[in-house]
Structure 1
Amino acid sequence: MSLLFPNQWRLLASPPQLYLQAFIFSTASSTAKSPTFWSPTLRQCRNLQTAVSPVVTSSYSPTSYITQKQIETPTSPVKFPPLEPLFIFFECTELWFVQEKQGPPVQESLGAFQKLPMVMPSIDLYSSALRKSKRVQPTKGIANIAKRERNRGAKQLDALMKELALPLKGYMESFPRRRLLHPYERSLIELTLCDGKYEEVLGKVDALRKKVLSVGKEHASLCAKALSKREAEDRLSEGVEKLELVFQQQGIAVDDLLSIAKVLRAMPVVDLEMPTLCLVGAPNVGKSSLVRILSTGKPEICNYPFTTRGILMGHVILNYQRFQVTDTPGLLRRCDEDRNNLEKLTLAVLTHLPTAVLYVHDLTGECGTSPSDQFRIYKEIKERFEDYLWIDVVSKCDLLGGGSPVIYAKEDVSNDEAEIIRYRETGPDGSIHVSVKTEQGLSELKSRVKEVLSSEMEKIKSEVRVDPTVASS
């Protein structure tokens, strides 16, 4: 008997389990060497199972599913040897198993934090689950009181277990694994949360889910085996109390996950397709004041270091085009190993996002960092990100008194190099001197920002994005 039935095409589009059923039915009613099993239609099925055709420049190109490398389309029918039916079955299902083992693709786009689910507090989650489970009624038609009571108890315990475990499973599936995040978002998790906190909390939530399933199944089984109405009621109460105790002891993991979701969801949204102007400099040099002038961002402005406690994002519209402006924490003069998490956030923005740099200098020393130290920080950052579009700004120029710097931060100037002496007087070559108080130089700065952001937009548009799967093959 042939494997192909009148509804053969529905069978060919079915999952591999139906192939197995059809294979068993065929081999049970035919000889081992049936000449009709290896039919031309099944050959076509084998071709469909071993090749896919992705869209490439509005056309279809035959491609191997495993290697993702282009191959030539055969011009003549492929002839296969007369294999045994069991081997044919595994040929048809081989790629299905490969696809299952490969897992989800690596996520490389930004915005994962804005897709995080709403997490219920542990006490609300348990109360809701208990309320829903108490509405579960026993199966209709059970006349015996003891049987009806143990049926009700087992069903309520099973419902309570599922109402607790399913949301926890949803959290585990909805919170992305850190290795699948964009490098910038991975850096935010590492620097905003304690080291390993993200994975630790997710692990505790999963452990709570497994404990709930274990306790719920155990007590539902005990309730189903009760011999009397009174025993069934006792088993039900005991199971509910046990699940409540589990949530009291380990439910703090859900509350920790709620806190993490709030922190991550509050992170500024960054668009990789939109040019970004990143303000960088030592602490308290006036970056936040310039962000307020240039964009819609409203960062806190105070006269003490490290006012900016995270990444603050604003937007500016130039010629009906929208751009991003980022305020970052200040950088101090020290090696990367000694930098705090706020400084590392600044370096993460520069490293992982397509940005143009607006570097702010304070030659007055009012910020608390001497001009000499600012110069050394500036040189280090400029060398590290030398390929970036760059604007140098000297802030608070109204305090310089016509080129005579006012030094608030004490420093030894006796052994300074000529380059540092020149920097202390005028700042970097080509820098724009501005004052937010007197509005000096702001018009020139805005024109320069517009020019740089337009150039950054052209740079982004001209970049050739290569599919990572094709590039790695």
Structure 2
Amino acid sequence: MVQYNFKKITVVPTGKDFIDIILSRTQRRTPTQVHKGYAISRLRQFYMRKVKFTQQNFHEKLSAIIDEFPRLDGIHPFYGDLLHVLYNKDHYKLALGQVNTARNLIGKIAKDYVKLLKYGDSLYRCKSLKVAALGRMCTVLKRISPSLAYLEQIRQHMARLPSIDPNTRTILICGYPNVGKSSFINKITRADVDVQPYAFTTKSLFVGHTDYKYLRYQVIDTPGILDRPFEDRNIIEMCSITALAHLRAAVLFFLDVSGSCGYSIAQQAALFHSIKSLFMNKPLIIVCNKTDLQPLDGISEEDKKLVMEMKSEAMKTVMGQGGEATDSGDVLLSMSALTEEGVIAVKNAACERLLNQRVEMKMKSKKLNDCLNRFHVAVPKPRDQKPREPCIPQAVLEAKQAADKEASAKEKRKLEKDLEEENGGAGVYSASLKKNYILANDEWKEDVMPEILDGHNVYDFIDPDILLRLEELEQQESVLQGLEADGDFEMDGAELTAEEQALLTEIRKKKSLLIQQHRIKKSTAESRPTVPRKFDKDRKFTSERMGRQLSSLGIDPTRAIERARSKSRGRKRERSTSRSRSRSRPPNSEVVPGEGFRDADQKWKAIKKARDSNKRNNKNARKGEADRVIPNLKPKHLFAGKRPKGKTARR
């Protein structure tokens, strides 16, 4: 877990906001009404409470600021030095010291004025002492406004610092600017560090996390370091130096063998030798990056000599840790972040070296001896000089041999996944769900299952000779089409007489008219409404027409016509009765029994009075008699005086 979380530090208000917060809290949380007629002891108590309450609020707020900001002497040296590099330890301590001094001064002021208030002889004197006490407290706080603003800036900057756990497994990447450190951390972690082709793109520490052998490793990308005296290094470089000095981590020193970073191998070797004291007691790996531009074997002899010197120094650090002599391949590795060649090998080598070092340190610690002291391994003493080999009973050996034979004889059961791979893979092979059915005959497994619809077997209604019937139907259609093509079914009119030709023209016209009517009806069938009889303008549905049609069919239409006419008259009567029935309110001129009016005149006067009484409501834009409006927007009972505890929703 991360030990230090600077994001939880509360916001530090400015001096003016601080005073507003405290004084408004004093006004809200203490009584506000006092009268001249009160006893002097009550007046003193009233104003003493104000002063004490204000001092307590100042003390709580300032104490929270002092406690939440970390003490540089009490946190991990890495964070202590990092905060010193970023903000200057002296300024930081001075700001917190001024806040602490202000807290003590406010406490003394409150103590002095409470003592004076005990001897206040009037309401005016007590009130003046209270005003003076609060004014002096606010003056003290105004004087530390710059310190509060400085601490707020530090809080914002600390909240942006990466959450680094100094005690976990860590891989630290260092080297000259623009040698490929950020590209490497982007490849092995999810950290999205900005990568640009110029120096000092990375200006602060960036953290990513990677996994190796089911363990989580912390990877830190540091800004580039230049080879110059310690005093001349800027804040960006000092962040890297601080991490190298205080974190127990596996160090990856990146070396750009192509020279595309703008620095030669000699300059990078000089930087390595100048900071090699920071690599002591740490696993060190020299990573030759950008081998896609320049292979390690293709560099000049002088550069090779410098690289070999760096490798020998790295080997010395390994031997200095008390470790065994490792292969040179573990100390000097080559990779290319662009082609990702060797990236995983570098990560695995660093994680393995770091893991081995941590295991060795634990083996050397006292905790291991404490654990070993709890175990006791019983070893029997030899009673004579005869050698006694381990003896396995013959029955056990025979049982093991039999079990091995059974295991070799039993074939491995094929799974559906194996069958799928053998038969073309996913999307090609379809698993059969019927092969595990338990039936009397295995051939029945693939039989077609009957489909049941509405209690009937669908297969019973399928004609087995349907294909033959379909072929016959197609043949008949082809014959008919051939006849139409050969026989020229349409008449051209050349062989007909004048009368037959006129008749043919009329038939064709009638046919086209019927086709048009049918198409219109078909297109508007769904959206066409049912037309009532009274809108039948063309008189297509009259009783006379119905009589003519029935007479042509040889049926007497008299009774049908009478029945239709009687139905239409009955419908009209029903409509009239329903209309009178739906009229529930009588006219104003009629007096209905039960209304309480003597006659129509009395009823009319009552209606007129009701209308006149509503005029005032209408003028005031009220809905009716029950519409109650409070014209005063600030009623006294809601906004005057003190509120009881818990009632804060109205303001």
Q: TM-score, normalised by structure 2?
A: 0.48
Q: Deviations over 1:301-324 (max 9, x none)?
A: 223322222222211112321111
Matched, 1:332 2:218: no
**What's the offset of the Cα at 1:156?**
0.5
| Cα distance in 2 for residues equivalent to 1:142 and 1:230 | 9
1:29-428 aligned at under 5 Å gives the runs: 111-112=3-4, 114=6, 117-122=9-14, 123-134=16-27, 135-137=29-31, 144=38, 146-382=40-276, 384-400=278-294, 419-420=305-306
2-side partners of 1:199 and 1:459: how far apart? Answer: 40
Percent sequence identity over aligned pairs: 25
Change in 2 beyond 3 A, CA 1:178/1:442 = closer
**1:433 paired residue among 334, 342, 345:** 334
1:454 corresponds to: 355
Structure 2, unaligned runs of 5 or more: 315-327, 368-651
Bigger CA radius of gyration: 2
SS at match of 2:173: strand
**Measured at CA, do residues 418 and 310 of structure 1 come closer, stay the same or move farther in structure 2, by a change above 3 Å?**
closer
| Letter aligned with residue 328 of structure 1 | T
TM-score (norm 1): 0.64
Does the CA contact (< 8 Å) of 2:266 and 2:303 recur in 1?
no
> Does the Cα contact within 8 Å between 2:269 and 2:307 map onto a contact in 1?
no
Contact 2:169 / 2:218 at 8 angstroms: preserved in 1? yes
Q: Structure 1 pair 164/254, CA: closer, same or farther in 2 (3 Å)?
A: same
Q: Counterparts of 1:365 and 1:417 in 2: how far apart (Å)?
A: 11
In structure 1, what is the Cα distance between the partners aligned to 2:30 and 2:62?
A: 21
How far apart are 1:446 and its partner, in Å?
Answer: 3.4
| Alpha-carbon distance in structure 2 between the residues aligned to 1:298 and 1:151 | 62
Could you report, residue by residue, the CA deviation over 1:34-89 in whole angstroms, capped at 9, with x for unpaired residues?
xxxxxxxxxxxxxxxxxxxxxxxxxxxxxxxxxxxxxxxxxxxxxxxxxxxxxxxx
Which structure 1 residue ranges, 5 or more long, are not aligned? Answer: 1-108, 406-412, 467-473
Residues 396-448 of structure 1: CA distance to partner in whole angstroms, max 9, x if unpaired? 2222278656xxxxxxx99x687238789xxx974333222222222333332
Once the two structures are TM-superposed, the CA of residue 383 in structure 1 deviates from its matched residue by 5.5
RMSD: 3.5
Q: Distance in 2 between matches of 1:150 and 1:165?
A: 22
Q: Secondary structure at the match of 2:193?
A: coil
User: Which shifted more, 258-267 or 284-293?
Assistant: 258-267
Paired with 1:180 and 1:241, the residues of 2 have a C-alpha distance of 36
For residues 74 and 277 of structure 2, what CA distance do their matches in structure 1 show? 30
Whole-angstrom distance in 2 between the partners of 1:454 and 1:401: 30
Range with bigger deviation, 138-147 or 337-346:
138-147
Q: Cα offset for 1:356?
A: 0.6
- Report the CA distance shift for 1:233/1:387 in structure 2 as closer, same or farther (over 3 A): closer
Distance (whole Å) between structure 2 residues aligned to residue 118 and residue 227 of structure 1: 43
Deviation at 1:273, TM superposition (A): 4.3
Q: What are the Cα deviations for residues 153-200 of structure 1, in whole angstroms up to 9, with x where unaligned?
A: 221111111110232234334544323332222211221212412211
* Residues 1:465 and 1:140: Cα distance change in structure 2 (over 3 Å): farther
Partner Cα distance (2:58, 2:120) in 1 = 24
Q: Tell me how far apart the structure 1 counterparts of residues 5 and 93 of structure 2 sit (CA, whole Å).
A: 15
- 2:26 partner letter: S
Q: Give the Cα separation in 1 of the matches to 2:143 and 2:77.
A: 35
Moved more, 354-363 or 137-146: 137-146
Q: Tell me the secondary structure at the aligned position of residue 240 of structure 1.
A: helix
Compared CA separation, residues 273 and 237, structure 1 to 2 (3 A): closer
**Conservation of the 8 A alpha-carbon contact between 2:244 and 2:278:** no
Q: Is the 8 A contact 2:227 2:274 kept in 1?
A: no
Take 1:236 and 1:304, find their aligned partners in 2: how far apart are those partners? 63
Mapped contact 1:110–1:185 kept (Cα < 8 A): no
Residue 350 of structure 1 aligns with an amino acid whose one-letter code is L
Assess if the C-alpha contact under 8 Å between 2:174 and 2:252 holds in 1: yes
Question: Partner of 1:323: helix, strand, or coil?
Answer: strand
Q: CA deviation at 1:393?
A: 1.5
Aligned amino acid, residue 251 of structure 1: S
SS in 2 for 1:296: coil
What count of residue pairs does the alignment treat as equivalent? 347
Task: Give the Å deviation of 1:385.
Answer: 2.0
Counterpart CA distance in 2 for 1:398 and 1:170 is: 56
Question: Quick check: 191-200 or 213-222, which moved more?
Answer: 213-222
- Contact 1:146–1:232, Cα closer than 8 Å, also in 2: no
Alignment partner, residue 444 of structure 1: 345
SS of match in other structure, 2:292: helix
CA contact (8 A) 1:110 1:182 kept: no
Is 111-120 or 293-302 further displaced after alignment? 111-120
How far is 1:266 from its partner? 4.0
SS of equivalent to 2:254: strand
Shift of 1:144: 2.4
- Paired letter, 2:150: D
Instruction: Show CA shifts across 1:122-143 (max 9, x none).
Output: 4444333222222223899996
Q: Summarize the Cα distance change of 1:465–1:286 in structure 2 as closer, same or farther, 3 Å threshold.
A: farther
* 1:465–1:385 distance in 2 versus 1, CA, 3 Å: farther
- Paired with 1:308 and 1:418, the residues of 2 have a C-alpha distance of 29
- The farther-off stretch of 453-462 and 353-362 is 453-462
Contact 1:139 1:152 in 2 (8 A): no
Query: How far 1:278 moved relative to its partner?
Result: 0.5
Q: Separation in 1 of the partners of 2:308 and 2:65?
A: 57
Residue 280 of structure 1 and its aligned partner are, at CA, apart by: 1.0
Indicate conservation of the 8 Å contact 1:316/1:324, yes or no.
Answer: yes
Q: Is the CA contact 1:274–1:457 (under 8 Å) kept in the aligned structure 2?
A: no
Counterpart residue type for residue 253 of structure 1: S
